[in-house]
Amino acid sequence: MATRRGVTRTDSGAGIANLIKAFIWGAFFAAGVLGVIALSRLALPPVTGLLGAAGMRIVSTATHMWHWGRQWVNTLLSSDDAALRLQRLQRRVAALEAENLYLRRLAEENQRLRTLLDLGQDLRHPYLAAEIVAIGGSNWYRTAIINKGSAEGVTPNAPVLSHRGLAGRVWEVRSHHSVILLLTDRRSAVGVALSGVPRVFGIVKGTGGRWLELVHLSRHITPRRGERLVTSGLGGVFPPDIPVGEVVRVDGRTEPPTVWVRPFAHDRNLHEVIVLTDTPP
């Protein structure tokens, strides 16, 4: 009996100890749960706020990128449109410049023709109008071709005038074109007089280059730079008082002095001309 009572008391003590342990672990567990709940209440609002702020920043950045993208696309579209407008304006400006050049050339041609007709009327000599179609030259020869010939009344040696003055004379005649011997040709020689100086005559000869040379003055006189030369009318080929050229240089180191003359009707200025008719052959 004694042994059974001892065993029963021992088992009862072990059960009580187990209950106490369970109670302590339960208390610890409950305290842990309460601690977690308390911490969650304290920590979740800041975390939620951080997440909300980050979300707002993401939304704001996306909105800005959307607006920037739209602006960039609009800028590209407007740039393309501006480029097209610029191209149209450039084409229009080019067309206007070409039209302006054409009108300017027409005005210059009209002025040349008026001056040329006035010169022909001042000479009181019959003439016909012609156009230069080609100019040829070398160090020796300077010629031009006009679009009128014997069928239109052109005769050999007839004087040819541009709007600036004497250009040369007819050298060869064909049916519908003629060859003009220009003043600068080495075979050319024209009797001239000093404008405004009575009875001073000479001859200008072609040099094959830009200038003419004044030779064989009738009096011992040295022309001055800037003096003008006109046809003398001597010899019967060229009527008097047709403008020929201007003295540009005088070299007094030679005897007689070498006098260089710039022709008024230079090769580069030849476009339209008149050919005098009814002149001596």
pLDDT tens sequence across 7-45: 444 555 555 555 555 555 555 555 555 555 555 555 445
Q: What is the pLDDT of residue 31?
A: 58
Q: What is the pLDDT of residue 15?
A: 55
pLDDT tens sequence across 164-177: 999 999 999 999 99
Computed over every residue of the chain, the mean pLDDT equals 79
CA distance 277 to 127: 5
pLDDT tens sequence across 37-61: 555 555 445 544 544 555 566 656 7
CATH no. of 127-276: 2.40.10.340
Contact yes or no for 245/268 (Cβ under 8 A)? no
CA distance 181 to 142: 6
* Cβ neighbours of 251 (radius 10 Å): 9
CA distance 151 to 119: 24
Record the tokens describing residue 219, joined without a space.
Answer: 């009096």
pLDDT tens sequence across 188-239: 999 999 988 888 899 999 998 889 999 988 877 888 999 999 999 888 889 9
Residue 132 has pLDDT above 50, yes or no: yes
Contact yes or no for 243/165 (Cβ under 8 A)? yes
Residues 116-125 as b/e (b if ≥16 CB within 10 A, e otherwise) read beebbeebeb
Helix runs in 125-258, H state only = none
Instruction: Give, in degrees to the nearest 5, the angle at Cα 195 between 113 and 214.
Output: 95
Q: Where are the domains of the chain?
A: 1-124, 127-276
pLDDT tens sequence across 145-156: 999 999 999 999
User: pTM score, two decimals?
Assistant: 0.62
Which residues share a beta bridge with 274?
129, 161
Spatial CA neighbour of 249 closest among 270, 224, 273, 267: 224
* Cβ neighbours of 218 (radius 10 Å): 14
pLDDT tens sequence across 184-202: 999 999 999 998 888 889 9
pLDDT-based confidence at 5, cuts 50/70/90?
Answer: very low
Percent above pLDDT 70 for the chain: 71
